[in-house]
Structure 1
């Protein structure tokens, strides 16, 4: 059941935690930072949250105008969840929290890594040349496709396939994370059957391996 617990503290920090401090709430926000998601998408991205728990968090966040539920027009006609303007204001907070959390060791057991989490890392760690021509990549991570567009030195990531792409990458979130942190190379990932590249492979390799700052 949705919770109505409160810290009963007038401080703005406590009042914010009354809204997004419940377990899984901020991870729901994280998953929606790159665009709308269906309930089934969120379940796959957050396998540790039961369906009931996720439904409760979504209802609570919607009740606080952090998230809204919307039905897509035909032919899709599916229901998606997306951040409101108020919810989107949490983006720098969530990203700063993620950066702070990297100082701590990862879980001792094999941990899940969502596509959104890795794509947010990609967006924050890569700084393309502002003078480079616009480029569009098609990333397929497990069973989802994303558009990664680069223009004026900025990276834009949205769910769904691009109309056209200069290059493409098919892999899983863990392998993409290894490519980004330098613990593996595109050549090694391809040779090991962990990744497949298409299109302008040289441009894609340069993008994946560009030094982060």
Structure 2
């Protein structure tokens, strides 16, 4: 097993941080929560991480069973990475950390790299359980060149990538505005006033979606 830091403490938190506590590791997990990804895509999506360091972090996660390597269909030499069943157990805590961290975003952070998928992950943690609508409906988010869907069915919320048919609500935005709204640096109504976001659908659906995500 590759050499690594060890806190030397008989504690579950310390043991977990021995695996995922190094710099960049949590962000690698974030990318894999979006879906399986190839090494070069990780390098592209994580500007600032060197290939050698990324390879080391992936090796550590693989050795601990947090991720798996898979062949790429149609590419005999290609490999992609995905979270294992053990790694998927990180979804809830990572999403909660995304939600918690939104409160620390400020104007100076807006010059940094942004991807629509990051806001979509944070949105999954923003759902307030006792505000889930009691009607079945679908909300489609068109953020930059990405499309995401939120489905409310029988009091439960599901998330998926890609377009859907006949959504009750369609929200169109650029990635930066999308994240700013999630971080409550900007309200949906302020974004509407400036034309940074476009919302198509009945007022009632807009209210239900906003209330569920804690944006009202």
The normalised TM-score by structure 1 is 0.73
Whole-angstrom distance in 1 between the partners of 2:58 and 2:138: 35
Normalized per residue, the structure richer in helix is 2
**1:134-186: CA deviation from partner (whole Å, max 9, x where unpaired):** 3252x333333333322233332233x13525143332332112333271335
**1:34-57: CA deviation from partner (whole Å, max 9, x where unpaired):** 433344543444223234433332
How far 1:122 sits from its partner (Å)? 1.7
Runs of at least 4 residues off by over 6 Å: none
Residue in structure 2 matched with residue 121 of structure 1 by the alignment: 122
Match of 1:42, SS state, is helix
User: Which stretches in structure 2 are left out of the alignment for 5+ residues?
Assistant: none
Query: Judging changes above 3 Å, is the alpha-carbon distance between structure 1 residues 21 and 148 closer, same or farther for their aligned structure 2 residues?
Result: same
Find 2:188's aligned residue among 185, 197, 200.
185
Tell me the matched-pair count.
207
Q: CA RMSD in A?
A: 3.6
Residue in structure 1 matched with residue 135 of structure 2 by the alignment: 132
Whole-angstrom distance in 1 between the partners of 2:65 and 2:192: 44
Tell me if structure 2 keeps the 8 A contact 1:179–1:208. Answer: no
**1:9-57: CA deviation from partner (whole Å, max 9, x where unpaired):** 1523332222112111011112222433344543444223234433332
Match of 2:82, SS state, is strand
Question: 1:64 and 2:67 equivalent?
Answer: no
Residue in structure 2 matched with residue 195 of structure 1 by the alignment: 197
Query: Judging changes above 3 Å, is the alpha-carbon distance between structure 1 residues 82 and 170 closer, same or farther for their aligned structure 2 residues?
Result: farther
Tell me if structure 1 keeps the 8 A contact 2:142–2:172. Answer: yes
Residue in structure 2 matched with residue 5 of structure 1 by the alignment: 4
How far 1:130 sits from its partner (Å)? 4.3
